[in-house]
Amino acid sequence: MKTRLLAALLFLAAACGKDSTKPEGTQPAEPTSKAENPAASASTRLEISVTAKGFEPDNLSVPSGKPVTLVFTRKTESTCAKEVVIPMDGEKIERKLPLNEAIAIEVTFPKAGEITYACGMDMVKGTVVVQ
Ligand SMILES: [Cu+2]
């Protein structure tokens, strides 16, 4: 017992005295057993229709910091929402919405909050709640 304690103290003293302390007895790398789930890395797809009523649904929840794909499909001519504008930090995302064409917009909302997207004239609106 005594010698072991002494050895430990000596080791500590030696370690303190060294200028360049290399990590002694590095642990072997832990086996990475976690299998990546390919489905989990695919971004969430959220479908939004543009109808005479506006964006449907006009309220969505998305996680922050993860890529999501907003898919806009305009299904009517009787709307002024023939494009969509999503305000982002810095620059906004603008996409034309041709009739009956699914327009996929992949986007990552960095932080929690509420994003209001709208048509080009800021009249028809929808909300993305980032959680
Ligand atoms: Cu409009």
Q: What is the pLDDT of residues 1-23, one digit of tens each?
A: 455 544 544 444 444 444 544 45
CATH code of 88's domain = 2.60.40.420
In degrees, rounded to 5, the angle at the alpha carbon of residue 42 between the alpha carbons of residues 74 and 99 is 10
Distance 120 CA to ligand 1 centre (A): 5
- Which residues, in sequence order, are bridge partners of residue 102? 73
Does any domain span residue 6? Answer: no
Whole-model pTM? 0.68
The Å distance, Cα 84 to ligand 1 centre, comes to 9
| Residue 99 is assigned to a structural domain of this protein | yes
**Residue 3 included in any domain:** no
Is 93 domain-assigned?
yes
| pLDDT tens, position by position, 35-52 | 444 555 567 999 999 999
Contact assessment for residue 116 and residue 87, using Cβ atoms and an 8 Å cutoff: yes
* Structural domain range at position 78: 41-130
Output the pLDDT for position 61.
97
Residue pair 118/85 in contact (Cβ under 8 Å)? The answer is yes
Residue 40 CA to ligand 1 center (angstroms) comes to 36
As for how many domains the chain has, the answer is 1
In a domain, 13, yes or no: no
Q: How close is the Cα of 110 to the center of ligand 1, in Å?
A: 27
Domain membership flag for residue 58: yes
Residue 34 falls inside a structural domain? no
CA of 29 to the centre of ligand 1 (A): 57
Distance 81 CA to ligand 1 centre (A): 5
| Residue 72 domain flag | yes
